[in-house]
Amino acid sequence: MLESFLHQIGGQAPHPYGEHRFGLDARIRSTEDPIVVDATDRKILELLIEDSRMSFAEVGRQVGLSRAYTRERIRHLVDQGVVEKFTAVVNPAKMGRAVSAFIDARIRPDRIEAYCDRLGAAPEVVSLYLMSDMQSLHIHTLTDTEGDLDAFVSHHFFSRDGVISIECKQLLRRIKHRRGGPRI
């Protein structure tokens, strides 16, 4: 997973902490030209972000296209990689996973790959992001109890080689949750 991300980033600038396996600079570059998305595609994407189970006929009705042409446009968006996945948004509290926390950790660059691999495999980790400074991780976790969160943080960060700093904040209330990236 991380290797594919790193392959896409490219770059060979030496890191200020010495050479490490990534051999990256902090600039993220695209390996291909962006896909042209018109106003109709944007509206289709907004509808799918709101409800990915919406039928082709309903999407088409709302954007003024036939069901068949809407299906073709959505298939094109999928084929071009604009739409990566159709998914469900699950309420973790309804499943007993009520402790949501965000962890910001600074890791020595020579240890970052090992941390990404370890944290990426942890069932408590919902989202894991490598930030542009190539030494910071932003991690979203879900655990059943505060004790489980404490155990996770202790196990993965306390007295571990390579951890520079860690900041952990527990979510109080979700104000807005939108999947799909930047405004479309």
pLDDT at position 152: 96
Domain boundaries, the chain: 39-79, 92-170
Q: Which residue has the higher pLDDT, 113 or 20?
A: 113
The maximal CA–CA distance of the chain, rounded, in angstroms, is 60
What one-letter code names the amino acid at 19?
E
- At residue 136, the 3 state secondary structure works out as strand
pLDDT at position 178: 66
What number of H helices and E strands is found in the chain?
A: 6, 4
- Cα(2)–Cα(179) distance, rounded to whole angstroms? 21
Query: Model confidence over 33-78: pLDDT tens digits?
Result: 778 889 999 999 989 888 889 999 999 999 999 999 999 999 999 9
16 beta partners: none
Correct CATH for 92-170 of 1.10.10.10, 3.40.640.10, 3.30.70.920, 2.40.440.10: 3.30.70.920
- At residue 166, the 3 state secondary structure works out as strand
Report the candidate in 16, 25, 71, 37 with the shortest Cα–Cα distance to residue 184.
37
pLDDT at position 18: 40
pTM exceeds 0.95 = no
Q: Which residue has the higher pLDDT, 144 or 27?
A: 144
Q: Are 45 and 35 in contact (CB under 8 A)?
A: no
- Cα(109)–Cα(22) distance, rounded to whole angstroms? 9
Token couple for 145: 């109890």
- Cα(97)–Cα(183) distance, rounded to whole angstroms? 29
pLDDT at position 175: 81
pLDDT at position 86: 84
pLDDT at position 20: 39
User: Does the pLDDT at position 101 exceed 50?
Assistant: yes
Element (H, E) at 64: none
Fold of 39-79: Arc Repressor Mutant, subunit A (1.10.10)
Mean pLDDT, all residues of the chain: 80
